[in-house]
Amino acid sequence: MSIFEFLGISSAQAAAATSVQHPAGPMAAFSPILMVVVLVAFYFMIIRPQNRKRKEQADLLSQLVVGDEVSTIGGIIGKITQLQDDFVQLSLSSNTTITMQRSSIATILPKGTITL
């Protein structure tokens, strides 16, 4: 006695239930088109804006000069006193200077924002 007979299912019904049925009709033709539409939407909604934001951040970091007033990712505001390849020295007050990674700069503030 097989499991199908135990459940009261005939062998013809079991064979029909376990066979793979492919969709037929008008919706079967739209499946590849729908996948392409989803991939294009994914590109324009997620990948493209991230690439644009990354490029804008790289442009901002390349424009830094000594004397710029900046805000860091952590919210620290200071004036750039020295630039190196990967590091920046920020003056926070008249006697406080810190060294940070250049990539931690979030924005360049307008001149005169901070007074030291």
pLDDT tens across 48-74, in order?
Answer: 999 999 999 999 999 999 999 999 999
Q: Which two tokens stand for residue 105?
A: 């700069």
What does the alpha-carbon distance between residue 74 and residue 57 come to, in Å, rounded to a whole number? 16
Domain count, the chain: 1
**Within a domain: residue 101?**
yes
**Within a domain: residue 18?**
no
**Within a domain: residue 36?**
no
For the stretch 97-107, pLDDT in tens is 999 999 999 99
Distance in Å from the first CA to the final CA of the chain: 90
Which one-letter amino acid corresponds to residue 113? T
Whichever domain contains 68, its CATH number is: 2.30.30.60
**Within a domain: residue 35?**
no
**Within a domain: residue 81?**
yes
Number of other CB atoms surrounding residue 15 within 10 Å: 11
> pTM of the predicted model, to two decimals?
0.62
Which residue range is the domain that position 91 belongs to? Answer: 64-109
User: Rounded to an integer, what is the distance from CA 74 to the centroid of its chain?
Assistant: 19
**Within a domain: residue 42?**
no
